């Protein structure tokens, strides 16, 4: 029996999704401290009050997906917990996500902060992929039976720092199959920023704006070469008739309206020509699909790694369970591929991954790819919140929490070793420097 409310905190490198298990949706909080040109500092979602996003600089607690700066993270958590007096850690339990590649020392630091600094009553820590497997992946009406993790699925987490692919079997991550592609939302944003700054306007200090442009305009092409030819014809003929070209109105920070700009509908271009005079308009065509194409062609930026579909296939083919037919396990994984994380919302991604995996997977196995944006037939969520909703199901299931969580009393008696043993963490000693193209946003001390 769960005696305390459980705070589910999906501690992503880009943003935090957090709320108690009694809530239906999670609050989304930027996981950063930002400073504007007028030297005003914003913690977490205080950034919503910022009127001028030009030249923002960031300080993030994560580096290459790992939580390395607890000074920064604690400031953000303190603001979330205490600014509105919404969380009393001593009267709450905590369900926290962490990268599966986190080194033991970094993971132990988290355990110490949770119990010694905040004093949570009990605590469970796992990967976002493990939580995602608790969702009802069949997307059917709610069952009368208690929720359980899906028996066998492949979770593709398209995160901020990287994309990870891992098999999850009965709620547990199969670490031998774990694969990582050093392309995430951050690299895609930075790549788009480079392209726009070279071809159009210098926007190297406009990280927030470029990220918004990416999310509103980019898509994954299912016929890349064909779309590239069309985009090149658009450029040579200076025509805006193609559906591939979009006009994006850049923001005017003096007025404060639509502070991150907006997409100009094609009809508005002709109807409001007088109103558009004086506006800065960004014309995008092949940029819209050449940026997410990096997931399928990492060599475009000299990144010597396999593409996302190849990574998925390699992950499946390296999943073995003693006592089980590997063909059966792999068949189950191919038929239950779930995309989660913010980049999974990109239009066309599911269709492209489905087509490319189907082409190279064994022909006698069913391939089914879906995006994790539904928790039942009637409820649509963003793929970035999929893990949080899985955590809600886990934390609300009677009998599960007490089996997996470590209590404050246990921690005080046995120390951090009890966390390591009970959370069953795996440590990767390889020194991975990440993508050559990925560079940090502007930071301040």
Q: Taking a C-beta distance cutoff of 8 angstroms, is the pair 206, 193 a contact?
A: yes
CA-to-CA separations, 98 to 66, 259, 367, in angstroms, rounded: 8, 33, 29
Helix (H) or strand (E) holding 403: helix 401-404
Out of 3.90.640.10, 2.120.10.30, 3.40.220.10, 3.40.309.10, which CATH number does the structure's domain 185-292 have? 3.90.640.10
Report the distance separating Cα 41 and Cα 57, nearest Å. Answer: 10
Q: How far is the CA of 114 from the CAs of 325, 336, 392, 407, in angstroms?
A: 41, 34, 19, 11
Q: Count Cα atoms within 13 angstroms, Cβ side, for 442.
A: 14
Residue linked to tokens 């406009």: 206
DSSP state of 265: P
Q: Looking at residue 324, what is its pLDDT?
A: 82
Looking at residue 439, its pLDDT comes to 36
pLDDT tens profile 58-114: 999 999 899 999 999 999 999 999 987 789 999 999 999 999 889 999 999 999 999
CATH number of 6-140+381-423: 3.30.420.40
Give pLDDT, residue 359.
96
Number of H helices, E strands in the chain: 16, 21
Whether 154 contacts 337, CB under 8 Å: yes
141 to 24, 224, 345, 398: CA distances (angstroms): 17, 38, 23, 20
- Give yes or no for a contact between 10 and 21, defined as CB atoms under 8 angstroms apart: no
Tens-place pLDDT, residues 185-194: 999 999 999 9
- The ranges assigned to domains in the chain are 6-140+381-423, 185-292
Please tell me whether the overall predicted TM-score, pTM, comes out greater than 0.85 for this model.
yes
Burial class (CB in 10 A: 0-12, 13-18, 19+), 97: buried
Q: Which of 374, 297, 294, 384 is nearest to 344 (CA)?
A: 384
Q: What are the pLDDT digits (tens) for 134-172?
A: 986 654 334 444 555 678 899 999 999 999 999 998 888
What pairing do the DSSP bridges indicate for beta strands 369-371 and 337-340? Answer: parallel
Lowest mean pLDDT among 64-68, 167-171, 327-331, 438-442: 438-442
DSSP 8-state code for residue 372 = S
List pLDDT tens digits, range 30-45. Answer: 999 999 998 999 999 9
pLDDT band, residue 375 (cuts 50/70/90): low
Residue with tokens 């969380």: 87
Smallest CA-to-CA distance from 161 within 441, 413, 387 is with: 441
Q: How many whole angstroms separate alpha carbon 341 and alpha carbon 386?
A: 7
Strand partners, 15: 30
Three-class DSSP category at 421:
helix
- 114 DSSP 8-state letter: I
């Amino acid at each position: 029996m769960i005696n305390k409310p459980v705070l589910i905190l999906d501690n992503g490198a880009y943003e935090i999704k957090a709320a108690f298990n009694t809530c239906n949706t999670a609050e989304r909080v930027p996981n950063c401290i930002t400073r504007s040109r007028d030297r005003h500092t914003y913690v977490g979602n205080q950034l919503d009050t910022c009127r001028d996003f030009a030249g923002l600089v960031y300080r993030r607690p994560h580096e290459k997906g790992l939580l390395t700066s607890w000074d920064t993270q604690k400031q953000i958590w303190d603001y979330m917990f205490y600014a509105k007096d919404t969380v009393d850690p001593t009267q709450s339990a905590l369900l926290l996500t962490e990268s599966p590649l986190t080194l033991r020392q970094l993971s132990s630091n988290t355990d110490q902060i949770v119990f010694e600094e905040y004093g949570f009553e009990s605590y469970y820590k796992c990967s976002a992929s493990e939580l995602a497997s608790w969702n009802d992946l069949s997307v059917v009406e709610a069952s009368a039976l208690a929720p359980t993790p899906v028996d066998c699925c492949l979770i593709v987490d398209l995160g901020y720092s990287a994309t990870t692919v891992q098999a999850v079997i009965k709620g547990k991550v199969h670490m031998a199959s774990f694969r990582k592609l050093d392309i995430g939302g951050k690299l895609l944003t930075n790549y788009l920023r480079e392209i726009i700054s070279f071809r159009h306007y210098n926007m190297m200090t406009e990280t927030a704006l470029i990220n918004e442009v990416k999310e509103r305009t980019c898509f994954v092409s299912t016929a890349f070469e064909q779309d590239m030819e069309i985009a090149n014809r658009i450029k040579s003929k200076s025509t805006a008739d193609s559906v591939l070209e979009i006009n994006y109105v850049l923001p005017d920070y003096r007025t404060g309206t639509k502070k991150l700009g907006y997409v100009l509908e094609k009809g508005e271009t002709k109807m409001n020509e007088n109103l558009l005079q004086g506006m800065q308009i960004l014309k995008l065509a092949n940029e819209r699909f050449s940026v997410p194409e990096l997931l399928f062609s990492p060599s475009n930026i000299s990144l010597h790694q396999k593409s996302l579909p190849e990574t998925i296939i390699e992950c499946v083919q390296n999943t073995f369970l003693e006592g089980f037919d590997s063909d059966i396990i792999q068949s189950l994984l191919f038929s239950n591929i779930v995309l989660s994380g913010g980049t999974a919302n990109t239009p066309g991604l599911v269709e492209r991954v489905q087509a490319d995996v189907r082409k190279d997977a064994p022909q006698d196995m069913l391939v089914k790819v879906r995006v994790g944006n539904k928790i039942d037939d009637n409820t649509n969520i963003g793929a970035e919140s999929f893990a949080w909703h899985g955590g809600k199901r886990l934390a609300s299931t009677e009998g599960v929490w007490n089996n997996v969580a470590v209590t404050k009393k246990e921690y005080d008696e046995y120390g951090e070793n009890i966390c390591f043993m009970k959370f069953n963490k795996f440590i990767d000693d390889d020194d991975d420097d990440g993508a050559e193209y990925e560079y940090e946003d502007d930071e301040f001390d």
